[in-house]
Amino acid sequence: MVVLTKPALGQVSLPRPQKPSPYFSGIPVIDLSEPGSEALLVRACEELGFFKVTNHGIPVELIASLEEEAMKFFALPQAEKERVGPATLFGYGSRTIGSNGDIGWVEYLLMQITSKPMSLPFLMDASASSFRSALNEYISAVRKLACEVLELMADGLKIEPRNVFSKLVMDEESDSVLRLNHYPPCPGFNGTMTGFGEHTDPQIISVLRSNNIAGLEITLRDGSWVSVLPDQASFFINVGDSLQVLTNGRFRSVRHRVLANGSKSRVSMVYFGGPPSGERLAPLPLLMAEGEQSLYREFTWCEYKRCACRTMLADNRLGQFEK
Ligand code: AKG
């Protein structure tokens, strides 16, 4: 096991380079202002577990303001960023992802979202007030968007109440996270250096926005990798492992990864909407056809997280809960 502590971006060995994948033109685009989007959304979750939403209603200024604050933070001297604290739980991380030896060409800020305003100690500082308010505004807008999408999913699945998924993310105890990722330019490795290794997201839903720099790749049903054309005006939505379980595998938790760019910085801001810690996760009976068997044994979100933190990024974490 490789354990790396607080390395600066240039100080540890690089992850293994790999070939960038071809662009995929089949990413479903869901216009939230159009009637009928719920059926398209369900199809996208079944086929890919990934889609793009447009006309999402989140003002560009609000997005730009958090991106600008994030860039200011990542431009700070390394020692100052590290004062925020290691991201073994929440805080700043560089090159190490999790605590089991995963590394990537990335630095990030990982923040827990509670019902209260952001509270990482460095954000309490008077000098961080614009960062704090950009974060709080962004989080409430993006959480609302996640709920809207989850409610459309319930509509599309024809199940009631329509907040059957969204109530988990809206719960006061919801275990949700915001992650700001910065993939610095990686000279000599244009689009071939692993920024963030392949994985599925554990939570219910992820709402991802990046600047206009490419790098995100997803797998299709046949296991092949494809690149996603960036679109800074839209949000990308990932189905997470928890939603795959709630739908008994009907929705697909999408495997994805990021390759770093040779000459340009990529910044992504990802909201991961999770259930409360004690929430029991199992396929919703409402969604099970007569005689259909559950693919998973029931487990709590807390149990899942305990198991997940002992695994590597690329592991099939849900495998431990399959029947
Ligand atoms: C993650 O933070 O879990 C990601 O997969 C990042 C994706 C991205 O940067 O586009």
Tell me, using a 6 A CB cutoff, whether residue 181 lines ligand 1: yes
Residue 165 CA, ligand 1 centroid: distance in Å: 22
Could you tell me the pTM of the whole model?
0.94
Residue 150 sits at φ, ψ, to 5 deg, of: -65, -35
Residue-wise pLDDT tens digits, 131-178: 999 999 999 999 999 999 999 999 999 999 999 999 999 999 999 999
Residues 235, 208 contacting (CB under 8 angstroms): yes
Tell me, using a 6 A CB cutoff, whether residue 210 lines ligand 1: yes
Q: DSSP letter string over 221-239?
A: TTS-EEEPPP-TTSEEEEE
For residues 57-70, give the mean pLDDT.
97
Res. 120 pLDDT band, cuts 50 70 90: confident
Residue 196 CA, ligand 1 centroid: distance in Å: 7
Residue 291 CA, ligand 1 centroid: distance in Å: 37
Residue-wise pLDDT tens digits, 25-43: 999 999 999 999 999 999 9
d(CA 167, CA 174): 9
95 is catalytic: no
Helices 129-157, 37-47: axis angle to 10 degrees equals 90
DSSP, collapsed to helix, strand or coil, labels residue 132 as helix
Pairing mode of beta strands 216-219, 256-260: antiparallel
Tell me, using a 6 A CB cutoff, whether residue 97 lines ligand 1: no
Give every CB contact of residue 215 below 8 A, 6+ residues apart in sequence: 183, 191, 195, 230, 258, 259, 260, 261, 266
How far is C-alpha 55 from the chain's CA centre? 20
Give every CB contact of residue 286 below 8 A, 6+ residues apart in sequence: 159, 160, 164
For residues 8-32, give the mean pLDDT.
80
Tell me, using a 6 A CB cutoff, whether residue 179 lines ligand 1: yes
Res. 6 pLDDT band, cuts 50 70 90: very low
Residue-wise pLDDT tens digits, 261-282: 889 999 999 999 999 999 999 9
d(CA 140, CA 133): 11
C-alpha Rg value of the chain to the nearest Å: 19
Tell me, using a 6 A CB cutoff, whether residue 219 lines ligand 1: no
Residue-wise pLDDT tens digits, 198-246: 999 999 999 999 999 999 999 999 999 999 999 999 999 999 999 999 9
Find, among 90, 93, 96, the residue nearest to 82 by Cα: 93
Residue 258 CA, ligand 1 centroid: distance in Å: 7
Amino acid at 135: L
Out of 209, 257, 266, 317, which one is annotated catalytic? 266
Residues 274, 204 contacting (CB under 8 angstroms): yes
Tell me, using a 6 A CB cutoff, whether residue 256 lines ligand 1: yes
Residue-wise pLDDT tens digits, 84-97: 877 677 899 998 88
Flag whether pLDDT at 123 surpasses 90.
no
**Position with higher pLDDT, 156 vs 16:** 156
What ipTM score was computed for the predicted complex, to two decimals? 0.98
Ranges of H-type helices in 54-182: 60-74, 78-82, 121-124, 129-157, 166-170
DSSP, collapsed to helix, strand or coil, labels residue 322 as strand
How crowded is residue 71: how many other Cβ atoms within 10 Å of its Cβ?
Answer: 14
Tokens of 68: 């600008």
State residue 119's pLDDT score: 66
d(CA 8, CA 277): 33
Res. 2 pLDDT band, cuts 50 70 90: very low
DSSP state of 100: T
Helices 129-157, 60-74: axis angle to 10 degrees equals 130
Range with the lowest mean pLDDT among 40-54, 72-86, 246-260? 72-86
Instruction: For ligand 1, atom 9, name the residue with the nearest CA.
Output: 268
Please report the atom of ligand 1 found closest to the CA of residue 181.
Answer: 9
